[in-house]
Structure 1
Amino acid sequence: MKKYRSYILYLLLLISLVGCAEKKLLEKVGLTTLIGYDLGNEDNVKTTAVVRQVNTEFQSQVAIITSENETSQGTRTKINRRSSKKIMAGQLRGVLFGEELARKGVGHYVDTLLKHSEMSGSVLLAVVEGQSKSLLEFEYPDIDDIGDHIYKLLEQNIKGEQMISSTLHEVGHDYYSPGRDIAMPILKKDKELIEISGVALFKNGEMVGKLSAKDSFYVKLIRDNYNTGKLEMMIKGDELPSSLMKNPSDRIDLVFDPIKTKKELKLVNQATPEFDLQINVKARLMEIKPYIDVGKPKNVAKLEKAIGKSLSEELSRVIALSQEADSDVFGFGEYYRSTVRHSDLTQEKWHGLYKEMKVNVHVDFTLLRSGIME
């Protein structure tokens, strides 16, 4: 019995010591939750770190620390010299790139992050309109922790399939893959709020263009399969007989949720190259304006055809915009490389083919049901 009591006492003492050690550890370090990179003077890099610090009462405070140096690792050393606590990167959840730096190239920073032993592949990457420093240093009245806020903003839109995913693992894969380019969400400050304003298009690690936030849906529709996504779209009024509408209009606004998709891509001509892209979309209609009676099968068939046509046109438009920017964020080149034997495809070779690429888009849209009551 005494032996068991000794074990219990030893165990309680050990737990107490571990708890003290953890407390002292948290008191001595600053946890970096988000980093912003901007172009500094004479091609230096300017790093802004969002650091969470814990005091002896376990109350946390957020500090914004900026440093400039020739290298990103050098700025980290400088940031440490400006902090009373050792800066740790193990809790890093997001990395932002100022637009000027992104246009000069993010490849070096992606490579450095991937080599960092403390870095998680799930860290989210994004571009900032203007400088990331200005976005992070602004005092937002309704945001206590800017690092946590930005991460959750990106995370919930990615999980809700309203924005493309841009984890470090995914961006690294796209950067090193011949026949595929990087795409990242774009953030901007709108008065006292932060919003996702678009999608940054890259070529060889350099930002070369952008799409609207709404166009992220079409990028993702080509790149991935949807399972829970939501879409608000418009089709032209003349795509449907006016007799179907209670109050005929030159445009019809629709909202779908959820959306489930399945796609099939085929290379039909490797010389051009030319692809056939077949996408099957199934969705529930949540709202339509002006009113159309979707309880009638004939009306539904005509509506499905009009929606499929409109989606095909939108997808073709987004592909064309990306070709103009010479950015293959869809991975057509990756599919070409895996299909054509002995293609010896390189980024340079693929981009020579990409601008002349042709994609025949076909969308088969099926309306599952209307609203939540059917």
Structure 2
Amino acid sequence: MRYQHNCFILLCMLFLTGCLQSSQLEKMGIITAKGTDVSDNGDIELSIVLFQFEAQSTNNTKIVSGKGKTIQGAIQNANYETNFKLSSEKLQLELFGREAAERGIHRFVDTLAREANLPNTMFLSLSNSSAKEIMLIQESGIAMNIGQYLHGVIDKNAPDHIFPKITLSAFLASLYDVGVDPILPIFELEDGIPKITKIGIFKEDKLVGEESIDDRVLYNLMHKKIKEETLFVTLPFTPFQKDVQQMLSQGEENLSTSFNILSGSSNTILKDKRDLSFQTNIKLELELTETSYQLNFKDEQVIRKLEQAVEKKLASTYKSILADLQQLNADSFGYGKTYRIHQKGNKLTKTEWHELYPKINVDFSVDANIIYHGEID
């Protein structure tokens, strides 16, 4: 039933656009997802998920593959596997294999940018292995169209355009803007099902490393205001030993906490251009939703202590992430954009910034205010 429902939705979308006549639909294969890999000899290998309209068929999804020296050549080669004319006007997701991403994806995203009819809701993502491996799950582990499925996983985890919802236009903006490097979500197979597990770190158009998806919220905070996001923070238990009312978890050495972010924002300033010294201020208003030990929140000092512990832990985590990014020479947080506005004429090249970026120093100041904690009088 769910598969039929998705088919019905896609059909409605196609008819409502007015772009296609009903007589043409039966001759077209609508590309919903495309996986891009690169072979050892440099050939492009595409795995294409099609939605095709055959009146007598019980399965409207088909996967075809093609190879070529160019994207268009690989699509033409894939066309030999089907009697449908392939159309990318409803492309929902572009998935790059790890090797292709490590070699660089500029040529691929540049080609996508030249396609005027691509929907602006199309997402970009990565596979921890080959894109083909993820796409072929369609035939075994996923009941619905794999393109719709992967698109839905990203969309579900990223309301209001929060990472890891990276559209083509958002990726290109980071790629071409001096002083910031792109990021993309990484899919990995777990028990035969694709799942977002990592944040792919790019230096310009090349994948150079990865960070834990658990740090997603911290990346969000560096780029925009956020709210209604869940924040998990693991704290040392020792400072709270005298504040425990009830032990909820046995044998735990840390205090595990979760918060709903009521509002969160950040701002960065360049303190000293010569010393490459920056200050990043993070401001959070939080609702405490869970702790692994029940604490005495009737004591206001316990709340203050918890706020201070969260502030210290987040500042430390940011320091650690930045150290990793500097090691990769990938400015995912965009400090180069702040530095550039202090340059004469805002002039700064990518090469110049990548020489300076590993040397920057950042003081992270976190102000966490726990507004609600759920304590019942």
Q: Flag whether TM exceeds 0.5 (same fold).
A: yes
**Distance (whole Å) between structure 2 residues aligned to residue 371 and residue 340 of structure 1:** 48
Partner of 1:179: 179
Matched AA of 2:327: E
Question: What do residues 200-235 of structure 1 show as CA deviations (whole Å, max 9, x unaligned)?
Answer: 111120111100111222222212221121122201
- Structure 1 position 287 matched with structure 2 position 290: yes
- Structure 1 position 35 matched with structure 2 position 34: yes
- Structure 1 position 327 matched with structure 2 position 330: yes
Offset, 1:373: 7.9
Partner of 1:122: 121
Partner of 1:356: 359
**Distance (whole Å) between structure 1 residues aligned to residue 261 and residue 44 of structure 2:** 43
Matched AA of 2:77: K
Question: What do residues 324-346 of structure 1 show as CA deviations (whole Å, max 9, x unaligned)?
Answer: 11111111111211233335211
1:120 aligned counterpart, secondary structure: coil
Partner of 1:297: 300
Partner of 1:47: 46
**Distance (whole Å) between structure 2 residues aligned to residue 122 and residue 297 of structure 1:** 46
Offset, 1:22: 3.2
- Structure 1 position 79 matched with structure 2 position 87: no
**Distance (whole Å) between structure 2 residues aligned to residue 339 and residue 237 of structure 1:** 43
Contact kept in structure 2, 1:218 and 1:318, CA below 8 Å: no
Contact kept in structure 2, 1:272 and 1:353, CA below 8 Å: no
Contact kept in structure 2, 1:183 and 1:199, CA below 8 Å: yes
From the superposition, tell whether residues 40 and 134 of structure 1 become closer, same or farther in structure 2 (CA, over 3 Å). same
2:133 aligned counterpart, secondary structure: helix
**Distance (whole Å) between structure 2 residues aligned to residue 209 and residue 272 of structure 1:** 27
1:1-374 equivalences under 5 Å are 22-56=21-55, 61-138=60-137, 139-159=139-159, 163-238=163-238, 240-246=239-245, 250-371=253-374
Moved more, 258-267 or 57-66: 57-66
Structure 1 length-normalised TM? 0.89
2:341 aligned counterpart, secondary structure: helix
Offset, 1:241: 4.1
**Distance (whole Å) between structure 1 residues aligned to residue 57 and residue 342 of structure 2:** 56
Contact kept in structure 1, 2:225 and 2:265, CA below 8 Å: yes
From the superposition, tell whether residues 363 and 103 of structure 1 become closer, same or farther in structure 2 (CA, over 3 Å). same
Moved more, 51-60 or 100-109: 51-60
Unaligned stretches of 5+ residues in structure 2: 1-16
**Distance (whole Å) between structure 1 residues aligned to residue 301 and residue 161 of structure 2:** 31
1:339 aligned counterpart, secondary structure: coil
1:166 aligned counterpart, secondary structure: coil
**Distance (whole Å) between structure 2 residues aligned to residue 84 and residue 215 of structure 1:** 45
Larger radius of gyration: 1
Matched residue count: 355
Contact kept in structure 2, 1:198 and 1:216, CA below 8 Å: no
Contact kept in structure 2, 1:98 and 1:129, CA below 8 Å: yes
Unaligned stretches of 5+ residues in structure 1: 1-17
From the superposition, tell whether residues 313 and 259 of structure 1 become closer, same or farther in structure 2 (CA, over 3 Å). farther
Runs of 4 or more off by more than 6 Å in structure 1? none
Contact kept in structure 2, 1:281 and 1:365, CA below 8 Å: yes
**Distance (whole Å) between structure 2 residues aligned to residue 141 and residue 174 of structure 1:** 34
2:338 aligned counterpart, secondary structure: helix
2:313 aligned counterpart, secondary structure: helix
Offset, 1:372: 9.8
Contact kept in structure 2, 1:228 and 1:260, CA below 8 Å: yes
1:25 aligned counterpart, secondary structure: helix
Seq. identity, %: 22
